[in-house]
Amino acid sequence: MKKIAFLAISILTLNCITATAQKQNKKVMKKVLFVVTSHDKLGNTGEKTGFWTEELAAPYYALADKGVLIDIATPLGGQPPIDPKSEDPSAATEDTKRFDTDTVLLEKLKNTKKLSEVNQANYDAVFYPGGHGPLWDLAEDVNSATLIEAFYTHNKPIGFVCHSPGVLKNVKIKGEFLVKGKKVTGFANTEEEAVGLTNIVPFLLEDVLQQNGAIYSKTEDWHPYAVEDGLLITGQNPASSKLVAEKLLQQLNAK
């Protein structure tokens, strides 16, 4: 009888340990979707654009190094264009140097998922790297707007940096702009002027966010700055990429 009781207790203890381990593993193995531009033309300048390397690399490693699983999607699927200026040695950081030799990530970028085929139910959060490209395609992409709305209404964090807050341009929740009354930041008009593209971009991000009712704020040009308002996390410029990722990670860990 004692042996049976001991066996029962042992089985119960083992089940508890297994359940606890599974629960901890589930907590650690969060999954985030990165949505990257497919647009490579810088207006009518004849120059190329795309995503900004630092704005993908820094958040990617900040999350992946903490055990977060990451998928990447683009409007067209496949290889997204990289803004050539972001590959200039003057824009290099430790994260971009790591990116340049990361065969696993580079292969993942060659085979991005098609945006229309992803489902928010498979992820815990979504993050949009910047670069000028998103102002042309993702800002007008119905699939992107629908996806952001789905993440937000399912109580999942949504992160943006630099130009990617412009992707929120047409996103609405129950008929109201998602950014209305929300504290946000993004690439400043003064920063756009500094890079000489004020009259090239389809719209000025700072202006559109405010027109849609956002409470926009910024710090000095090119300095790190990120704003968190509930599930919405935005960063001002490339230097803010890691800040956004850190805030995103905090929200993921809190769930």
CATH code where residue 238 lies: 3.40.50.880
Strand-strand pairing, 158-161 and 125-128 = parallel
Q: Is residue 17 part of a domain?
A: no
40 SS3 class: coil
DSSP 211-229: HTT-EE---STTS--EEEE
Is-contact 209 183, C-beta < 8 A? Answer: no
pLDDT of residue 26: 46
- Contacts of residue 181, defined as CB under 8 A and 6 or more positions apart, other chains included, come to 213, 214, 215
Structure tokens at 106: 């580079």
**Section 81-107 average pLDDT:** 97
Q: Is residue 107 part of a domain?
A: yes
pLDDT of residue 97: 97
CA neighbor of 93 nearest in space, from 224, 190, 232: 224
Q: Is residue 141 part of a domain?
A: yes
pLDDT of residue 146: 98
pLDDT for 39-48, tens place per residue?
999 999 999 9
Is-contact 59 248, C-beta < 8 A? Answer: yes
Structural domain range at position 167: 29-254
Q: Is residue 245 part of a domain?
A: yes
pLDDT of residue 3: 52
Q: Is residue 163 part of a domain?
A: yes
For residues 39 and 48, give the distance between their C-alpha atoms in angstroms, rounded to a whole number: 9
Residue 176 has pLDDT above 50, yes or no: yes
Q: Is residue 1 part of a domain?
A: no
Count CA atoms closer than 13 A to 155's CA, side-chain side.
2
Q: What is the mean pLDDT of the chain?
A: 92
Using only C-alpha atoms, the chain has a radius of gyration, in whole angstroms, of 20
Q: Is residue 158 part of a domain?
A: yes
- Amino acid identity, position 106: L
Q: How many domains does the chain have?
A: 1
Q: Is residue 23 part of a domain?
A: no
pLDDT for 97-114, tens place per residue?
999 999 999 999 999 999
- pLDDT cut 90: percent of the chain above it: 88
For residues 49 and 66, give the distance between their C-alpha atoms in angstroms, rounded to a whole number: 30
Sorting pLDDT into bands at 50, 70 and 90, what band is 12? low
